[in-house]
Structure 1
Amino acid sequence: MKKFLLATVVLAALGAASPALGADMGARPYYSKAPAYAAPLYNWTGFYLGAHIGGAFSSSNTFNGLVLSDHSARLLGGVQAGADYQFAPNWVVGAEGQYSWLGDNNLNAIFPNGFVYNHDQRAIASITGRVGYTWGPGMLYVKGGYAYSNNRDTLTFGGVPVAFTLDKNHSNGYTVGAGLEYMFAPNWSAKAEYMYYDFGTTRFVTPVALAPFGTFHNDEHTLKVGVNYRFNFAAPIAARY
């Protein structure tokens, strides 16, 4: 009986001490999950300014079989400005204005009757809309719209300037193109693009001695590379996985 009472007292004492021992050992540690990986998403929405350089290539032109001398490959350089809006979320729409200065005169015609015509195309410009598909830092796009040609046309006979008229103003036309743009640093992107410019066909109305020689076509194929600085509307956001 004494042994039974002694065992009961010991068990009761151990039970009373258990909470204190648990407190001394401290709470069970909690292991949190590792931070989720955040992948940057690139923001194409915003305004941008930039510059470009490249080459312009004219088609071979004739006045009713009369071969013209032209500079079929010329250096060009210029500036651009535009705005983009990203939606849906891989699509981008925008508008852009470009102005490109051209080197060299691109067309000279010496007619058999002694007249000499010079078409000096000094610059080409455009206002276009564009639609692009983006995958983060890269974007493929197509574009098209209004084109302008800064021309200075002259006609001489025996070295003396002669008044003349053409059937239409070949300063206004259209352009279409496509390109690739890539964000290589925060707020900076580089691009490469092809653009075709068409300003229609032109014929002489006066002097009447040139009217039988028909028309020549005014167009340009261009290749450009450039860089843009982007004023994004918001900082890039992060996607969590």
Structure 2
Amino acid sequence: MKTILLATAFILTPVGMASAADTSEVLPVAATYDWSGAYVGAQAGYAWGNARVGQDFAPGSFDNYGWGYGPSGGFGGLYTGYSKQFDGGLVLGIEGDYSFASVKDTTLYRALGVDDPAFGGELELESVGSVRLRAGYAMDRWLPFVTGGLAVASYKHTTTDIPGGPYADAKDTITGYTLGAGAEYAVTDSWVVRGEYRFADFGRHTSQRHLIVNGAPLNPDEIELTTHDVRIGVAYKF
């Protein structure tokens, strides 16, 4: 009987030692996602804003003579950029985007607080874009971020005789600044989806209208514009 017990103990001892060794081993840490690299993507969104095209023929005329707009509508386009992830999770990058847009509104001309039913206008943002810096904090496959930089918008302002139709317009590209925040999620190692909000302020710029019939210039106006937008995108990371 003693021989059997000793033999059993001798057989089980290595198994016990192996089990003890297994429990003391440190399990490997799962690899975290690396946000470093270049990417290109497509985006779509909805924008709304406040704008004023005011006449500047005399001091104070901008606020008292002109057109007030609340443009809104959709846009879609492309974006591309590069990100670098640092130790500790900080992610810095640069990004540019360009979108075709149909963000517009129509209104009546107003002088000293009174609408003119025979004189209207339409303001449309035809394209929007930006070049920005980005900063985020990597949480494995999640990346919340903030962004800011240069904003660009191309617009068309058309003035209309009612019921005669359009008689003059102005086309120009204006610049300002933009700030925003959002989050990205890496669905795979290469495909990344995002959601984002942005605010843009384009300040005030001179707006030169021309007669449609012969291109003759009219007295210059000024345009003032701010916008908000929400957008979603999907990108391929190289």
Could you state the TM-score of these two structures normalised by the residue count of structure 2?
0.69
Preserved CA contact (<8 Å) 2:81 2:94? yes
Partner of 1:235: none
The answer to whether 1:185 aligns with 2:185 is no
- How far did residue 52 of structure 1 move? 1.6
* Aligned partner of residue 201 in structure 1, secondary structure: strand
Preserved CA contact (<8 Å) 1:175 1:196? yes
Partner of 1:219: 226
- How far did residue 108 of structure 1 move? 4.7
1:143 maps to amino acid: T
Preserved CA contact (<8 Å) 2:102 2:124? no
Count of aligned positions: 201
2:81 maps to amino acid: G
- How far did residue 226 of structure 1 move? 1.4
Residues 104 and 92 of structure 1: CA distance in aligned 2, closer, same or farther (over 3 Å): closer
Partner of 2:60: none
CA distance in 2, matches of 1:37, 1:76: 46
Any gaps of 5 or more consecutive residues in structure 1? Answer: 1-21, 232-241
What aligned pairs does 1:158-169 form with structure 2 within 5 A after superposition?
Answer: 158-159=164-165, 161-162=167-168
* Aligned partner of residue 224 in structure 2, secondary structure: strand
CA distance in 2, matches of 1:123, 1:175: 15
Any gaps of 5 or more consecutive residues in structure 2? Answer: 1-6, 55-62, 111-115, 209-216
Which segment drifts farther, 112-121 or 129-138?
Answer: 112-121
Could you state the TM-score of these two structures normalised by the residue count of structure 1?
0.69
Preserved CA contact (<8 Å) 2:149 2:179? yes
1:41 maps to amino acid: T
- How far did residue 184 of structure 1 move? 2.4
- How far did residue 203 of structure 1 move? 5.0
Residues 113 and 194 of structure 1: CA distance in aligned 2, closer, same or farther (over 3 Å): same
Partner of 1:101: 100
- How far did residue 69 of structure 1 move? 6.3
RMSD in angstroms over aligned alpha carbons? 3.3
Partner of 1:18: none
Partner of 1:201: 204
Residues 92-136 of structure 1 show CA distances to partners (whole Å, capped at 9, x for unaligned) of 000111112222534555364965543321110001111111121
What aligned pairs does 1:227-238 form with structure 2 within 5 A after superposition?
Answer: 227-231=234-238
Sequence identity percentage: 26
Preserved CA contact (<8 Å) 1:68 1:107? no
Alignment match of 1:140 (pick from 117, 138, 144): 144
- How far did residue 89 of structure 1 move? 2.5
Bigger share in strand: 2
Which segment drifts farther, 216-225 or 90-99?
Answer: 216-225
The answer to whether 1:75 aligns with 2:74 is yes
Residues 164-219 of structure 1 show CA distances to partners (whole Å, capped at 9, x for unaligned) of 7x9xx6522221111111222222222111111222124567734x76xxx54212
* Aligned partner of residue 39 in structure 1, secondary structure: coil
* Aligned partner of residue 88 in structure 1, secondary structure: coil
Preserved CA contact (<8 Å) 1:142 1:177? yes
Partner of 2:58: none
- The structure with the largest alpha-carbon Rg is 1
Partner of 2:43: 52
Preserved CA contact (<8 Å) 1:71 1:104? no
2:199 maps to amino acid: Y
More contact order relative to length (CA 8 Å, sep ≥ 6): 1
1:198 maps to amino acid: D
CA distance in 1, matches of 2:166, 2:52: 25
- How far did residue 151 of structure 1 move? 2.0
